[in-house]
Structures are given as C-alpha cells and as structure tokens.
Structure 1
Amino acid sequence: MSRADTGLLVGVALGYAGWFGGFRAFLLVAGVGAVGWIAGRFLDTGTVRPDFFGSHDGRREDQGGPGRPR
C-alpha cells in the first residue's frame, strides 16, 4: 500500500470519527493512530530513539551549491 493510500485511509477514519463521534472521538482516533504509527515505525526499523526519524548525524547530502565544491 502506498503512502497516499495510507493517508487516504487515515483521513477517512478521522473524518468518520469527527462526523459521528465529535471532536473527542477525532482526537482519540488521531492519538491512537499516532501511537500505531510509532509502534509500526519502531518494528520496521528497530532503531533507538535518536535515529527514529531518520539520520541526523549533522551531515547533509548536498552541501555544495552552484560553483561551490562539495
């Protein structure tokens, strides 16, 4: 399933929760979805917290610009 499909499903779930359950249900579904995303991301990558959202070692892929050496 692509990220667009996943985003569509999350949007539909939040829309139904907001429409039928009100704002509290909307927040509950959003919170549970966030916890599920974090758990799934951890299970996929198995990384520790600093590396959880990607590589942040202080280096950038492209530090050079036009006319600047890399």
Structure 2
Amino acid sequence: MNKASTGLMTGMALGFAGWFGGFVAFLLVGALGALGWLVGRALDDGASPLDLLRGPGRRDQ
C-alpha cells in the first residue's frame, strides 16, 4: 500500500471519528493511530516488541 492510500484512509478514519464521536474520539483515534505507526515502524526495522519496552540504549547482545 502506498503512502497516499495510507494517508487517505487515516484522514477518513479521523474524519469519521470527529463527525460521529466528537473531538475526544478524534484525538483518541489520532493517538492510537500514531502509536500503531510507531510500533509498526519499529517492527519493520527489525526490532522485537520487547525492544520497544526496554528503550533505545538497552538491547541485549
């Protein structure tokens, strides 16, 4: 999936959340989307889920 399609779907999800759920739902969808993006990005770079919890300088060797 390309970046334009991802941006379109993200914008639509935020728009629906804002329209039907109000501003708090808009913020919640945005925050959870950002968190999901960060986890996905870290996993794409070869990190394990435990590396995300340990922090940047504490990887076991």
Which TM-score applies when normalising by structure 2? Answer: 0.75
Tell me the secondary structure at the aligned position of residue 46 of structure 1.
Answer: coil
Mapped to 1, the partners of 2:30 and 2:20 lie a distance apart of 15
The structure richer in helix per residue is 2
Aligned equivalent of 1:20: 20
Aligned equivalent of 1:41: 41
Ranges in structure 1 where 5+ consecutive residues have no aligned partner: 51-70
Q: What is the number of equivalent residue pairs in this alignment?
A: 50
- Any idea what the Cα deviations from partners look like across 1:18-44, whole Å, max 9, x if unmatched? 000000000000000000000000000
Larger Rg: 1
User: Offset at 1:8?
Assistant: 0.1
Higher RCO (Cα < 8 Å, 6 or more apart): 2
Structure 1 segments, 4+ long, off by >6 Å, are none
Which TM-score applies when normalising by structure 1? Answer: 0.66
Aligned equivalent of 1:5: 5
Ranges in structure 2 where 5+ consecutive residues have no aligned partner: none
State the one-letter code of the partner of 2:40: G
Mapped to 2, the partners of 1:7 and 1:44 lie a distance apart of 18
Mapped to 2, the partners of 1:43 and 1:4 lie a distance apart of 21
